[in-house]
Chain A
C-alpha cells in the first residue's frame, strides 16, 4: 500500500470523524484559535513596532553624521570621560565648515527646553533647536506652509521661528499660524514656516513634529550661556557611499580644530544612525523574545487542550479502534488517523485564528498603534498550527495504535 494512498484515505477518515463530532471539534479548535490569534497578533505588533523604529531612525537620515561632544549610542566610553570633554562651540563649527570639502551641507544646532505659548494656548517643555539657514539642507524637512528662515535672517539672528506639525496643531488648531507671534520664554518669535508631519513617535521629543527651529543666536541670547552649552554639528554626505569618507574627513578636521596631539584620543564623537539602529535592534529583539514567549504559552495551553480531548476521543472510540483493527487497520494506519485528526483540527483553528488576527490588527490599527499582518504571518500560522496538531496528537494517537484489538472490541 503506498504512502500517498494511506495519507489520502487517512485524511478522509479523519475529516469524517471530525464532522461526526462537531461540538467536540469546535471546542478543541477554540484553544488553538486563541493561541494562533495571539501569536500572529503579537508577531504583527512586534513587526509594526520594529518598522516604526526603523522609520524613526530613517528620519535621522541615512546620509547624516552628527559631530557631538557626546557619543549617542556608544556605551564603550565611560560617561565621565564624555562629560569631561570640552564643549563644542560655534567657532569649532566655523573652522570645520571652512575646512570640510566633502559634505553636501553642514549646520550647527543647539538645544534648550522651554514652554511655547500663543495667546491662551501653550505647549510645555518642547525642544527648541537653534540652528542656521543651512539646516534645511542637512535634513529632509518639508513644509505644509511657509518656509525655513533665510540666510539673512539667520546671520542677523532674527526672531523668526519654524513650528513642527504637532506644535502648530496645538497652538493653531484652526490654522493661520503664519505671520503670528508666539512667545518662548522671554522672547517673541514670528512664525515663518510650519512643517509637514515628518517623524515617528519613536523619536519622542526629538521628533521634528514636536520641535521648533529658530536662528541659533537666540538660544544664547535668551536661553543659555554660550560657554556652558555644547553644540552639535549636523553633516550631510552627498550620498550613502560617501558617508565613511565624510566621517574620516570630519575626524581629521575636528582633531586639528581641537588641537589634539597624535597620541590623544578624540574629544568628540561622530554619531550616525547605524549606532541607533544597533541599539533599537537589540531592544526589539528583547521585546520579540519576551512577546513570543508569552504568546506561545497561550498556544501551549491550546495544545494541551487538544491533547486532552484527543485522549478522551481515543478512550471514547476504543470500540471503533477495535473494529478498525479487526478488519485490518495496521498500527501506523490508526496512528496516522488520529494524528491527522489533530492536525486538521489545528489547521482549521489556525486559519480561523489568522482571520481573527487580521480583523484584530485592523481594530488595533484604528488606535494608531502600528500593526502589520503580512505573508509571514500566514506561514507562521500554518506552520505552528500544524506542528501543534502533530505534537499534541502524537501521544493520544500512539495510545490508540497500541490498543489490543481483542480488548478494544470488548470495550463498551
Chain B
C-alpha cells in the first residue's frame, strides 16, 4: 500500500527527539560554535540522562513495540530531529561514530561484542586521497600475529575523543581497491597519535582530527571484514571492496537525514523571525499573490519535503532488506544540496539578522556545507546515481 506517511508512533519519536534538540542542544549551540575543540560536556550528561531513563523504563523504547521491520527509518527520523537542534553537537555526542556503523555492518560476532559499545570513529581520507578512497596509501602489513599500520589520516570526525578508530589501509597499494581493508585501532596503541585538530567553517562542536600511524602494531584479529591476503579472483576482490563501500549505503541515509533536520531548522527559524514582522505563509497562491519571500519559502519547503521523502525511502528500503545503493545516493545528493541551499537562502532572506551571530541562521549555513561533502560529496552521489541509471561501469563513466 502506497503510504509514505509516518505512523503515529514514529511521529511521537519525532516529538521526543525534537524536545531534546530544542531544550538540550539549542541552548549550548552557540557556546560550542565559539569554543571550538572544547568537548561539550553537556552531551555526556545527555547520554547519562538517556541511560538513566532507559533503566527506569522511561526511555524511548517504543521502537521495540513498533511495527517496524528494521530501525533505519526510526534512526533517520531521530537523527533528523537531533540535527534540527545542532549538527555539530550531535556529531560530538559521545558513544557513536561512523566507525560503529562499519563494525555493526561487517564486524564478526567477537568484534561486535568487544567494540560494539566503544566509541568508534572512521578514518578513510588522506592528504592525497579523498573521494578517491581506493587510492589510499596508509599500509597494513602482517608481521607475526600483528598488523603494522603506517600512514596519515585526515578529517577524522571524533578522531580525538573516540575510543577507537576504524582505519582504512591497503595490503598492497599496487593492487588497487582489491587490497583495501579496514582495521580497528584502539586509542593509546603505541605509534598511534593525534597530530592536530582542524579549525573549520562549521560543525565546530565536533572534533576533526589528523591521525598519524607510525609503525603502529595492532592484534591480528582487529582486521574488520575481508581476508588477510589479497584475492586474485576478480569477483572476490570486487566483493571485498564493495563490502567496505556498502557501509555507505547504510550511513548515507543517516547523513542525508541530518541535512533535512538542519534545513527544517533554518526554515523554522526564518519563519519565526519573519513572524515578528507580520509574515504569513501563502501556500498554493499564484505568483501575483505571493511576496518574493512567500514564493521563495514555498519552493524551499517543497525541495526539503522532496529530499526528506527520498531519504525516508532509502531508509525504508534498508528496513525491508532491499538493495538501496542508488536511492541512498539520490537522497544524499538531494538532501545535501538542498540543506545547504536552504540555509544560505534563509540567511539572505533574513538579511542582516540572518548574517548576524545574534541568531543561529548564520551558523546553520556554515554547518550545512559539510553535509554536502562528507559521506560522499554531491558529485560522488551524482556519479553513483548516473552509473546506475545509465547502466555504466566505473571505467566507462569516470
The answer on A and B forming one complex is no
